[in-house]
Amino acid sequence: MSSPAADELSIEQFAERLGMSPRTVRFYSGRGLIPPPRREGRNGWYGPDHVARLELVRELQAHGFTLHAIEGYLERIPEDATPAEIALHRTLLAPWMPELPENVDRSELEIRAGRSLSDDDLELLTAIGVIEPTPVDDVFNLAPAHLAVGMGLLDANLTAEAALQARAIIVAHGSALAKELTELFRAEVWPQLKSSGQPPELITRMVERFKPLTIQALVTAYEQAVDEQKRETVRRRS
């Protein structure tokens, strides 16, 4: 009997690496979400392609895809796709997605916030979408990227009404911007990357740059617009 390749894992090792049970691995395999393992007698061995595919499945689940939708998504990925090519699909999900929420208790939230939080503070953070209560007392789902903004609104002593109005404006314009940029990426950027002949690893690095670049461009444009509004206010008063 030959030994497994250096990069192959038993079902127990594979499950441990992905942070799940062997039973869950068999469930995903039974649904056809990952290919069967390489069989050697009664043993099955999982390689880098299995790891990449199951990581993609979990990423899709984390972003709210149903198993049926995931099956349809995976059908469009060639069976002979390399782990690097599969990893690129995960990268394509990431650039335009917000951070996933984290589950924290009140003490952890206060550590993240850098100070104690009153019940009124928690109410405001909930109202503007920074935290979301859970069925467990004093345990919240936290949007990490939004915490600094929420704390800034608290420190500015904004009323709940003003904070909610500000959030509504930002969400409305942010959603429109995200939709237009995503369509631009799909229609203009992605086809060029696919036809460029570059290796998947390089395309992955290029895609990963889009989110920080678009955020920086948005911040710069906003700062310029605010400065122009100030100048316009001064001109009107003059």
Confidence of residue 140 (pLDDT cuts 50, 70, 90): very high
Confidence of residue 116 (pLDDT cuts 50, 70, 90): very high
Confidence of residue 99 (pLDDT cuts 50, 70, 90): low
Q: What digits encode the pLDDT tens for the residues 3-56?
A: 667 788 999 999 999 888 999 999 998 888 888 898 888 888 999 889 989 988
Write the secondary structure of the chain as one string of H (helix), E (strand) and C (coil): CCCCCCCCECHHHHHHHHCCCHHHHHHHHHCCCCCCCEEECCEEEECHHHHHHHHHHHHHHHCCCCHHHHHHHHHCCCCCCCHHHHHHHHHHHCCCCCCCCEEEEHHHHHHHHCCCCCHHHHHHHHHCCCEEECCCCCEEEECHHHHHHHHHHHHCCCCHHHHHHHHHHHHHHHHHHHHHHHHHHHHHHHHHHHCCCCCHHHHHHHHHCHHHHHHHHHHHHHHHHHHHHHHHHHHHHC
Residue 207's pLDDT is: 73
Residue 13's pLDDT is: 92
Residue 58's pLDDT is: 85
Given a cut of 60, whether residue 85 has pLDDT beyond it is yes
